[in-house]
Amino acid sequence: MSTFVVIGGDAAGMSAASKAKRDDPDLDVVVFEAGEWVSYGACGLPYYVKGEIQSLDDLVSVTSEEFREQRDIDLRTNHEVISIDPDDRTVTARGEDEVVQAYDQLLVSTGAAAVEPPIDGLDRNGVYTLGSMSDGRDLREYVSRARTDGDLHQPDRGPACQFLENCNGPVGIVGGGYIGIEMAEALAANDFEVHLFQRGGRILKSFSEATSEAIGDHLAEQNVAVNLNTEVEGLAGGEVVEAVVTESGRTPVEMVLVGTGVSPRTDIAEEAGIELGETGAIAADAYRETNLPDVYAAGDCAEAEHVVTGEAGYVPLALTANRHGRAVGRTIAGNPTRGGGVAGTAAVKAFEVEAARTGVLDGREARRAGFDPITETIDTKSRAGYYPEGGTVRVTLTADRESGRVLGGSLVSEYGEGAVHRSHALVGAVTEGVTLGKLSNYDLAYAPPFNTTWDPVLTAAKVLDGKR
């Protein structure tokens, strides 16, 4: 009998464990998870903090008990793996006591950790990150307290507060990525005065400039103070944070959320001789196997091949973790399975707008991969012009001038007007290497309540093709 050991019990780890055990019930499957929660939807945490989701338990798709009892997986929560010995084929985990567990096959799915920016004051009370379930619980407690406890409210009402009856805050958000944007919505919805600080010249920098601009404008309309090109130098205060300090001055705050990205957790992998790629994440082949035989890596700790550039990239997102975990599970069960590449696809909702991006949008990245990128952005109606309601879909497309190959796209619309689901067309195009000419001839669905006769995606392809 063979033993499959998994380090880390979130999306990649539990997908692999479940699939391997289902496809090969004779397998012994052991999962070590450092924390208490497994298989949880971290992407839902901002909505829990916002108050739209009532319980943290709602974010758990399968409970520990279900994994143990229904799926027959030896799941050991509160067990942190502290080392891997690839020669002996064992891992050592520390829980109530220390466990040495032998493996035949091993999956490293240790995830990622929030990046700590190099600024002073991160250790003050009132400074949060949002990566784990306990982070979510802490933030929800803070928000609930503020709504009920008058003492936390700042007497000096800021610019957003003038529009709100019972204003909370002010609060600072460091970083204009997904977490920063989603938390701006969550906090503003709870009547906080929100100040967002972004080091670079635009938020959501992996999206197109046109998308970033649209979302930035929308945040401003929602009374979020967006400070671009503003490097945070420190978080001032005493025991509790009191201000965000930048070159431009001090912004008084009673709380700060730091959302400056994540980095892969690779310590124990590196110590065991598992090779990292240039991105700093664990390198793995198409089957997610590392340089060590029978040792796999998947999820937010690992690289994946980009479908456009063919190069290894680091895009730590939920679907890839699930997909690659599942593929490893099949492989372990005797059915070698590729997990597929990544297109760098991502989606975000910000208040009443939605956006998605996929593929290669950055000019330098495209040129490095041997392309000569051209880009165009168009605005079109989201439904037939004469059809009630609706809004605008803004589409940015990037393609290779010579071949016409679609390299990437970025879309933004009002929430519900389909920027995100329409991006599905572009994911296929970048994955299959489709040209603008061919894409613009796609027979996409049309009816007046859903689009103009030429869906915005088709119009963008047609217009950019005309520029070649």
- Interface residues with a second copy (CB under 8 A) are 11, 41, 43-44, 47, 52-53, 58-59, 61, 178, 307, 317-320, 322-323, 338-349, 354, 356, 358, 384-388, 415-416, 418, 420-425, 427-429, 431-432, 434, 438, 441-450, 453-455, 457-458
CB of 448 to a second copy, least distance (A): 5
**Helices 456-466 + 419-432 axis angle, to 10:** 50
Closer Cβ to a second copy, 245 or 426, answer by number:
426
Amino acid at 34: A
**Angle formed at CA 420 by CA 416 and CA 421, multiple of 5 degrees:** 85
CB of 145 to a second copy, least distance (A): 23
Closer Cβ to a second copy, 405 or 422, answer by number:
422
> Closest Cα to residue 143, out of 40, 45, 24?
45
The whole-angstrom distance between residue 44's C-alpha and the CA centroid of its chain comes to: 11
> Closest Cα to residue 289, out of 337, 341, 323?
337
Q: Which residues contact 462 (CB under 8 A, 6 or more apart)?
A: 436, 440, 454
CB of 421 to a second copy, least distance (A): 4
Distance CA 151, CA 379 (A): 46
Query: Taking a C-beta distance cutoff of 8 angstroms, is the pair 195, 251 a contact?
Result: yes
Distance CA 460, CA 374 (A): 12
246: β partners? 232, 249
CB of 386 to a second copy, least distance (A): 4
Closer Cβ to a second copy, 108 or 355, answer by number:
355
Helix (H, G, I), strand (E, B) or coil at 256: strand
Closer Cβ to a second copy, 15 or 101, answer by number:
15
The alpha-helical segments, DSSP class H, found in 229-305 are 267-271
Closer Cβ to a second copy, 74 or 414, answer by number:
414
Closer Cβ to a second copy, 4 or 47, answer by number:
47
Distance CA 318, CA 316 (A): 7
**Angle formed at CA 241 by CA 240 and CA 247, multiple of 5 degrees:** 160
Which residue in this structure is represented by tokens 């109530």? Answer: 96
Closer Cβ to a second copy, 227 or 440, answer by number:
440
CB of 280 to a second copy, least distance (A): 21
CB of 169 to a second copy, least distance (A): 24
The alpha-helical segments, DSSP class H, found in 234-291 are 267-271
Closer Cβ to a second copy, 149 or 432, answer by number:
432
CB of 14 to a second copy, least distance (A): 12
> Closest Cα to residue 264, out of 5, 12, 4?
12
Closer Cβ to a second copy, 283 or 384, answer by number:
384
**What is the set of active-site residues?**
43
CB of 437 to a second copy, least distance (A): 9
Spatial strand order in the sheet of 168-174: 127-128, 255-258, 168-174, 192-197, 225-227
CB of 65 to a second copy, least distance (A): 18
DSSP state of 110: -
Distance CA 165, CA 171 (A): 17
Distance CA 437, CA 404 (A): 7
Give me the sign of the Cα torsion angle 159, 164, 166, 169.
Answer: negative
Q: Which two tokens stand for residue 80?
A: 């942190």
> Closest Cα to residue 14, out of 81, 73, 99, 95?
73
